[in-house]
Amino acid sequence: MAVAPFDPKPVLAGLPSLPGVYRMLDQGGKVLYVGKAVDLKRRVSSYFQKNDLSPRIRLMVRQIAAIETTVTRSEAEALILENNLIKALTPKYNILFRDDKSYPYLMLTAHDYPRLAYYRGEAKRPNQFFGPFPNSYAVRESIQMLQKVFRLRTCEDSVFGNRSRPCLLFQIKRCSGPCVGLIADADYRADVASAVAFLQGKQNELLDALSVRMNAAAEALEFETAAELRDQIQALSRMQEKQFVSSNSNQLDADVVAVATQDGVCCVNLVMIRGGRHLGDKSHFPRNDDGDSPQAVLEAFLAQHYLGGAIPPVLIVNGEIDPLLCDHLALQSERKLTLISNPNGERRIWLTMAEKNAMLALGQKLAGQATQTHRVQLLNEALGLEGVQRIECFDISHTMGEATVASCVVYDHTAIQPSEYRRYNIETAKAGDDYGAMREVLSRRYGKLAAGEGKRPDIVLIDGGKGQVGVALEVFAELGLDLTIVGVAKGEGRKPGLETLVLPYQQKTLQLPSDHPALHLIQTVRDEAHRFAITGHRARRAKARTSSTLEDIPGVGAKRRQRLLTRFGGLRGVAAASIDDLAQVEGISLTLAEQIYNTLH
């Protein structure tokens, strides 16, 4: 039955001339677009009156089946509501950025002997947090640097509290051995204070203080201490020389945000400056930005990245920003916020660098897209197909039938799509029955497609030969689905490049040359499915072994099991402990310790 076209006139007639948020919905009730307005009636009406809409928005307008609105007290409230709805609903036609709110931090714990650690999540007191950092590599590099200079501990509390002698890090001079009392409390606190000063950008003050301590130690004839301080000063000086970008004003915290466009693709490069030190940068590629101006992309990034999150005192950008957004960011920061769109001096250098990084990332992305497009074209030719875009690949992983896990990974529109990956714990198939496991995962995955839910793949890639392909054909016949199946049978000795492709729709097999780009694409997707499956299998197996091994011991309940695992840092540590060590755990008698020891050995 034909669906009547959407008539906007009744909706527009009832809209108020007030600030608020509007939502465009399709025939199925799915939100297509979320926007804010000072005047809802005027803004929503413009979609049906203007002729200069971007191609993306014109396509969106043709799909509108309903419009919902929410009136707010002010445009500022509308801005916040719009941003929250965009994050929650991820509408198809809004400019969307991946949510990277969980940027990593360097954490210094509040213990008597503070520990350096990598941390993601909400910063909680009384620990100290430094960052955020653009990626995990930058955090780990900083931890290694601080270990070399200040020799602070990085071990878990369960390890720290149970050492009887220093570990390897002490031997290679990456830790001062506080776990066994090889450093005085005051000296360790001094090292912690120095590390904090360095992370806060007080490098010059720190170097001066260390020089004073070194001279005092030399005058007191404490030459070993003086030599250690000298080494610290030299290491810090070398780090300052290596610093890629440094600020003339210590303790400066700033983010530099630059947008670049090329061939219709946008990139936002974010550079983080903390304590006057350049921590690194990260490039972000928006979705659904076809035809939007760089200013619109920049404002979308600032809203999605900073509203509701931490904001540094200085933001440097390469475009003009809506005054409403600037005002709200300043209000949220609860301190003076300096937003600079035309910087000079060293800040101009930072912005230029961010723009170059954005252009470089764009060039790499476009080159990668061209390569992937070429691979997909050759895949269509090699397999005798047309219009292949979406590939779903399946693999099964287990150890002698234990903890079987199936994976499904997705390749769509020339890119791997991790957000669409799925793992399936196999429950009904017998242990070690790969065919049964494949039957279960395909039935569960495509039973929904048969019911009208989910996206239809152009190719279902099966990691296996004719047996697994036969199972897939049976499942799809039972579900009433006509899907193209390609099996990937391993070659002799499982060597890459010797795979045989099983093509049931052509009733033949095919072996592509080892250097064929289409085979490289298939191998990439197949290997990703294998990695995803084996990672899930190992996690499931480890969980099952950990819980069942200790749970099966009479007298070891949840509390005792938790105490054992906490004390020894995991099941491996419990298994390595002696009977006497086990008996020292609260609630574990000597008899029970012997029973635990005998069960684990």
**DSSP state for residue 96 in the 8-state scheme:** B
Q: How far apart, in Å, are the Cα atoms of 556 and each of 109, 143, 162, 586?
A: 32, 38, 21, 12
Helix axes 590-600, 517-551, angle to 10 degrees: 150
Q: How many CA atoms lie within 13 A of 560 on its CB side?
A: 18
CB burial of residue 549 (10 Å; 0-12, 13-18, 19+) = middle
Q: Can you read off the two tokens belonging to residue 262?
A: 């090329």
- Find the helix or strand (DSSP H, E) in which 574 lies: helix 571-576
pLDDT given for residue 564 in this prediction: 84
pLDDT given for residue 242 in this prediction: 43
Answer whether the bond into residue 126 is a cis peptide, omega within 30°: yes
Q: How far apart, in Å, are the Cα atoms of 565 and each of 109, 157, 549?
A: 21, 12, 12
Helices (H), 335-432: 346-383
d(CA 576, CA 586): 18
pLDDT given for residue 383 in this prediction: 93
- Residues present in the chain in total: 601
Placement of tokens 């390609």 in the chain: 486
Using alpha carbons, select from 409, 429, 401 the residue that is nearest to residue 488: 409
pLDDT given for residue 529 in this prediction: 94
Neighbours of 21 (CB within 10 A): 24
Q: Which residues does the chain have with pLDDT short of 50?
A: 1-2, 241-250
Placement of tokens 């909400």 in the chain: 122
Q: What is the CA angle 367-373-375, rounded to 5? A: 105
Q: How far apart, in Å, are the Cα atoms of 451 and each of 394, 479, 481?
A: 21, 9, 10
Reduced 3-state DSSP string for 15-69:
CCCCCEEEEEECCCCCEEEEEEECCHHHHHHHCCCCCCCCHHHHHHHHCCCEEEE
Q: Which domains does the chain have, with CATH numbers?
A: 9-89 (3.40.1440.10), 105-242 (no CATH), 254-363 (3.30.420.340), 391-538 (3.30.420.340), 552-600 (1.10.150.20)
Placement of tokens 């290491």 in the chain: 235
Q: What is the CA angle 67-69-73, rounded to 5? A: 165
391-399/415-416 β-pairing: unpaired
Helix (H, G, I), strand (E, B) or coil at 531: helix
pLDDT given for residue 291 in this prediction: 66
Task: Specify the amino acid at residue 113.
Answer: Y
d(CA 558, CA 562): 6
Task: Specify the amino acid at residue 474.
Answer: E
Q: Can you read off the two tokens belonging to residue 335?
A: 């301190």
